[in-house]
């Protein structure tokens, strides 16, 4: 292969790589997903199972509060939680489905985690953005959910819609 042909091939490869890279960047509309729950509380619950001592071992619980963050200012937070108390002590296992409602739409999130204070944060788990409504229809992404058991709980990750 001649030097001229090698340079032409290298230039073509460089241009194609640039087009592919630019196309990939242009196709992604992802951005940071940073939400805080500065105030929230448990709003209801039902125990589904008890142990031999009469202590609840499995419950369905709801929580509501305020959410603030980078995607759309301040909004409302709602969670539907299934809480398994079987690990015992200060630990439990939570299957969590959350909604963050803003004026322009709602974002839905899911996580599943064991909450124990033995590793620093009580909540330290991955979450997945499972969809949305309004301006957030088709939302996806995910990241880390972090908290010490009370307010604030933080959601930090990547948001695509």
Q: What is the mean pLDDT of residues 77-102?
A: 93
Query: Residue with structure tokens 């058991």?
Result: 149
Q: What is the pLDDT of residue 118?
A: 65
Which whole number is the average pLDDT over 61-67? 96
Q: Are strands 123-132 and 140-147 parallel, antiparallel or unpaired?
A: antiparallel
Structure tokens at 70: 């980078």
Per-residue tokens: 58: 């499995």
pLDDT the model gives residue 88: 80
- Quickly state the pLDDT bin for 115 (edges 50, 70, 90): confident
Query: Domains in the chain, start-ordered, CATH in brackets?
Result: 33-160 (2.40.480.10)
Q: What distance in Å separates the CA atoms of residue 35 and residue 33, rounded to the nearest whole number?
A: 7
pLDDT of residue 18: 35
pLDDT of 127 above 70 = yes
pLDDT, tens digit (0-9, with 9 covering 90-100), for 143-152: 999 988 777 8
CA dihedral 13, 19, 24, 29 (to 10 degrees): 160
How sure is the predictor about 120, in pLDDT bands with cuts at 50, 70 and 90?
A: low
Distance CA 146, CA 15 (A): 43
Per-residue confidence (pLDDT) for residue 31, from 0 to 100? 82
Choice between 121 and 48, residue whose per-residue pLDDT is larger: 48
Which one is predicted more confidently, 7 or 146? 146
Question: For 15-45, how does the pLDDT look when each residue is reduced to its tens digit (9 = 90+)?
Answer: 333 323 333 333 346 788 999 999 999 999 9
Distance (Å, whole) CA 95 – CA 33: 21
| Region 32-61 average pLDDT | 94
State residue 51's pLDDT score: 93
Q: How far apart are CA 35 and CA 12, in angstroms?
A: 44
Query: How much is the pLDDT for 1?
Result: 46
The one-character DSSP state at 2 is: -
How many CB atoms neighbour CB 109 within 10 A? 25
Structure tokens at 67: 């959410």
């Amino acid at each position: 292969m001649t030097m001229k042909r090698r340079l032409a091939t290298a230039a073509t490869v460089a241009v194609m790589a640039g087009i592919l890279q630019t196309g990939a960047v242009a196709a992604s509309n992802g951005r940071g997903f940073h939400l805080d729950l500065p105030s929230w509380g448990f709003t209801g619950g039902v125990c589904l199972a008890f142990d031999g001592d009469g202590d609840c071992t499995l419950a369905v619980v709801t929580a509501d509060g305020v959410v603030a963050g980078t995607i759309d200012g301040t909004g409302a937070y709602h969670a539907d939680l299934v809480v398994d108390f079987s690990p015992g002590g200060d630990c439990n296992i939570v299957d969590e489905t959350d909604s963050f409602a803003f004026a322009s739409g709602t974002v839905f999130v899911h996580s599943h985690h064991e909450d124990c204070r033995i590793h620093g944060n009580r909540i330290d788990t991955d979450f997945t953005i499972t969809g949305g409504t309004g301006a957030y229809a088709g939302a996806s992404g995910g990241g880390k959910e972090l908290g010490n058991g009370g307010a604030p709980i933080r959601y930090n990750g990547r948001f695509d819609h």
